[in-house]
Structure 1
């Protein structure tokens, strides 16, 4: 079995690594404007209707053109996935795992190339793109190893003259709908989890970042994945997304994205269609409104740095991002003032440059939505840092801090998904935990305190799926910090954890009388 080693992040302080990354950028730039076909049953299909992938840092630059599936092509992919499932489900689990290990090795060799594509297609900084690619590698290797552990099922007892077995078998056809904000890591993780467990997949990538998905499908082909096991079907949610979720042959849907879309999928998947003989399973991760709580007995410099890193990494476009700081009144002003200082030091600009901390937000819709929330924040609290946006060339927004907000204000309740953090004052630690819990979400949170009893109180009472002590609330590592949240943050599926693959399988008991 491949030993577990978390894929290391690249040290960009060395000239060798800087030059290697610049070479990756040059390689990707030479491929700008390419056309990418659908892949159904291994066949390349080009359509007239295209998704145009645009560089969010430079609206004039087209990354590529991606053929768009319609319902007819989606149906073709369903039929092929249905036929292919009959053979793929019988391929040994060890063989399926080996494909993941080979794919991980291919990506590792081309790591900077994939990260460079993330810089151009998603607007990620070097560091954020590198972490995204590393996480994709981690997912492939972790799920491959997990499948080797699960391939023989679970132990059950047998009785005299009776032999019992409990095996895991695949579900069937899965629809994988990944997000644009981790267009490699989450897209790869959700896809290979479904594949390694013996299911066939229709992958509908995010329309803002479809090319990284196309490149990944090519990697899996190179690694030996048989034709028809994975079908690449980009397209609009309205035209093919609903169609695939509703389809009677769909056995499960794996979705990561907004709460509104997740609720819609959950509702549609619950309806039994004509000819459907199962209840569809939904694996959903639907966002958050994540809080860092700062106690009066804490390292205030650590608190400020944790808030800034968690709020503004990748422009706050993470479901785990800190969008709320709840600070006990005794240290509120000190923490806020230090956060303002640190925020004003951040560099915003062209993500192809190594020194850029924050690139653009993903598109015009995101820019408009975030800027409208900043206007709301000006009315609800005090704008103390940032607040400016410029969409003349790309979609750039300055990291923004809004202080003195009411816990029930819109800025403290609604998911903004941008570089905006709101500050609220709590009279004591008990109230801080109450405020942290007052949202419909429950994904991540953090507590900065040197009071052991307060840490234990938070462990029991701070209701989130991933809770961090004395560090930021982003950056879960595959295999170390299984990731998924409570309430409207989704089905708490815990990606990168020991139980995740089981969501893609079902248990079968066989009893033999001897």
Structure 2
């Protein structure tokens, strides 16, 4: 099933139908590797369309929640099969819209398929516990009930995986969904929703409305019939959403920024640490919330690590993500491109030493895209902007420390606490890192970027609202516990 088009204009999906916005306006989705390549147009919708979607979702939720978990899971298995049959098409669309390389896009789409199948199986797993009562003639147990209508607001960097890892658990636990995808990758998200439509989910169970965050995101956040909002994006927007939803008594889940450190101990396997640092920092052009941003290296091996890192960084092939052999693509849009360049300039102004990169790429294959060189600074101190703020681009800072204790102090000296990793062969250092690192995800001898779908994911400090996504932990957000007492 393909979305209906009007001159390559992709439509909203509301109450089981593909509809155009009453605004009559569309926005272009542009390939960041080639600004002359327009992927298509998406609706610049109004509050009216968003409200229609919420009405549809609310009406559909009553019958959807009455289905057995097995029956809801059967639908998700169908969606997974359809998405798998379209993996090449959707991955190519993602690469054109977002800029990541085609192998990365295929990997992300495959992950979306796996997430759907994982949560489809969740329909047959337990939802409560029997609890002993003080009354010997009574039965007491817990069960879980859906929240109702869930608003899903997703970013542009993972346009398949993030919508699915929010929608799939919401649906399996009996909620209905209104999705507001990021405008920059909305066509990819719409193609995912096509798979839900083709699987035959009842009308109104899944809805998607595209448009600006200030209009559609705000309307979704403020609608009193939206029982919960799950959001991934920037800290500023996330906090505003949380305040708005809290004020009207709704439930919210926020996954926001990171300033993720890698600690390289003196006893580390340097080749492994270098490979993982480059992968964590520069894959997807550094546009991951778990991307490596700060590399904290013990003094004894600092120069050796730096030399190996610079050598490997020079080998990175940069270009359009559809080109075979390309390792790193462009920034996802003009705004992010300008943001990265501004942080590079800020690093220079504040006295950091530029070791590699730092420039816009120009020439054949680059002039029409948002390409920035992988950038490495050293002599970065904790009071510098590039140490404290999330860049969300291919930029890392090297920091020299004298001990693991100092390294942990430096690593924790930011407002964020999403992910972190350490490279060491010493068990005591591993344990110290696990115990002392203020992050929701800690990894040993592995890059900071990377989350397994069956495990809880979320951050500490300013990185999240302290709830967790994925795995069994998802039920904590998408359901409420009901305690039952039978006499």
Instruction: Indicate the TM-score class for this superposition, using the shorter chain for normalisation.
Output: over 0.9
| Aligned position for 2:19 | 45
Partner of 2:334: 364
TM superposition shift of 1:103: 1.0
- Aligned match for 1:260, one of 236, 247, 250: 236
Contact persistence 1:39–1:231 (CA under 8 A)? yes
Q: CA deviation at 1:502?
A: 2.6
SS at match of 2:486: strand
User: 1:229 is matched with which residue?
Assistant: 205
Residue in 2 that maps onto 1:126: 102
Offset of residue 170 of structure 1? 0.4
Deviations 1:146-181 (A, max 9, x none): 232135x32323543222231111011111001110
TM-score, normalised to structure 1, is 0.90
Corresponding residue number in structure 1 for 2:311 = 341
The answer to whether structure 1 residue 209 and structure 2 residue 212 are counterparts is no
Which blocks of at least 5 consecutive residues in structure 1 are unaligned?
Answer: 1-27, 273-278
The correspondence of residues 54-453 of structure 1 with structure 2, limited to 5 A, is: 54-151=30-127, 153-158=128-133, 159-272=135-248, 279-379=249-349, 380-390=351-361, 392-453=367-428
1:309-349, Cα deviation, whole Å (9 max, x unpaired): 11000100000000100111111111112111111110111
Q: Check conservation: 2:279, 2:447, Cα contact below 8 A.
A: yes
- Does the residue aligned with 2:37 lie in a helix, a strand or coil? strand
CA distance in 2, matches of 1:155, 1:340: 58
Contact in 1 for aligned 2:456/2:473 (Cα 8 Å): no
Structure 2: which 5+ residue stretches go unaligned? Answer: none
Aligned position for 1:485 = 459
CA RMSD between the two structures: 1.6
Q: CA deviation at 1:32?
A: 12
Distance in 2, Cα, partners of 1:405 & 1:511: 60
Kept in 1: contact 2:177–2:206 (CA 8 A):
yes
Match of 1:16 in 2: none
Shift, 1:227, TM fit: 0.6
Aligned with 2:325: secondary structure? coil
Give the TM-score normalised by structure 2: 0.95
Query: Aligned pair in 2 of structure 1 residues 140, 267: CA closer, same or farther (>3 Å)?
Result: same
CA contact (8 A) 1:114 1:133 kept: yes
**SS across alignment from 2:35:** strand
Aligned structure 1 segments of 4 or more residues deviating by more than 4 angstroms: none
Alpha-carbon contact 1:285-1:484 (below 8 Å) kept: yes
Corresponding position of 2:470 = 496
Q: Is the 8 A contact 1:32 1:64 kept in 2?
A: no
How far off is 1:298 after superposition?
Answer: 1.1
- Structure 1 distance, partners of 2:111, 2:456, is 12
CA offset at residue 33 of structure 1? 6.6
Q: Is the 8 A contact 1:317 1:419 kept in 2?
A: yes
Equivalent pairs counted in the alignment come to 476
CA contact (8 A) 2:15 2:53 kept: yes
Question: Structure 1 residues 32, 455: closer, same or farther in 2, change over 3 A?
Answer: farther
